[in-house]
Amino acid sequence: MFLQVKKTRELWAMSKIDLAIWLVAFWATVIWDVVQGLAIAIGFALITVIFRSQWPKAAKLVQIGDTEIYKDIHRYGVHTTFSHIVIFRYDAPLLFFNSENFKARALEEVEKQENELRSVALSANSTSDTADAPKKSKRSRIYDLPQFHFIRRKDKHETENMVRYLIIDASGFTHMDQMGVKSFKDLSAEMAKRHVEVLIASCRAKIRQKCLQCGLFESLPRNHFYPSIHDAVLYAIHKDEIEEAKKVSQVSQVDAYLHRRKSCSLTFIERNTGLRASLKRDDENCDLSDEVSKEDSESSS
């Protein structure tokens, strides 16, 4: 055990938490005995697991170039960010002891992006004002966010709330309890007040089953769940086009139905007209045969 002291530098470089567990186990074994030292080390390791689960890593994701890959914004320089979309990932099971932390950090990311967009809009307005002035300050400079695509707003609430979609990457949710589902409900309700739509991406089957059992689909419909982040992003970007296509499809279906009804009516009328004509011809033929038979009987008499 004393020979492993040389490996403390390696543990420090790899993981400081693992080094802390090793130091606790080492000193507990030195002070007491092996059994008590191992018991104390196991207890300390469980405490570190609880703390890491309660305050796990969370990240805002961005699109890497023109690919369908979305990664942490702080790890990649070349990326694409959408002004009205926030993509949020939480790398931990969503349980009772970290559900409030999950909700708070998701709200924090939404508010942070809205503040950044407001600051960019204000700097753009101030720059346009200084451009109209006869003299320009040498210290004035515009700081733009990288790769931001600004979308023209169409109604009042979109102007006041620049973020319209919160996409949650659920691939890190290996487990979820009732309080975790409740945090989803609370987050969805809070975002609805801000006119922000919540979309869930890459959700595991057992997590969806848990959401069904806890009644999440009553507040967050099934069509808000997407198999990948890119599918959710495409929906958020082209939602207006999708809704318009649905309306056109519904209108075309109604037109097709009316056309079929009209065709059936015309066919029925044609059949009735043909039937009446044939009946009329049959009646005329019967009258003609009666007249011929009458004339034959008179001539024979």
pLDDT per residue rounded down to tens, the chain (301 residues): 555 666 777 767 777 778 788 888 888 887 887 888 888 888 888 888 877 777 788 999 988 888 889 998 888 766 777 888 999 999 989 988 888 999 999 999 999 988 888 887 777 666 655 555 444 443 333 333 344 443 333 444 444 448 899 999 999 998 999 999 999 999 999 999 999 999 999 999 999 999 999 989 988 889 999 999 999 999 998 886 776 666 666 556 656 655 665 556 555 555 556 655 665 665 555 555 555 455 556 555 5
**Do 233 and 199 meet the contact criterion of CB atoms below 8 Å apart?**
no
Element (H, E) at 165: strand 165-169
Residues sharing a CB contact under 8 Å with residue 24, sequence separation 6 or more, in sequence order: 40, 41, 44
Task: For domain 58-128+143-237, give the CATH superfamily.
Answer: STAS domain (3.30.750.24)
Distance, CA of 123 to CA of 131 (rounded, Å): 12
Hey, how many other C-beta atoms are within 10 angstroms of the C-beta on 160?
Answer: 11
Domain boundaries, the chain: 2-54, 58-128+143-237, 247-285
pTM of the model: 0.65
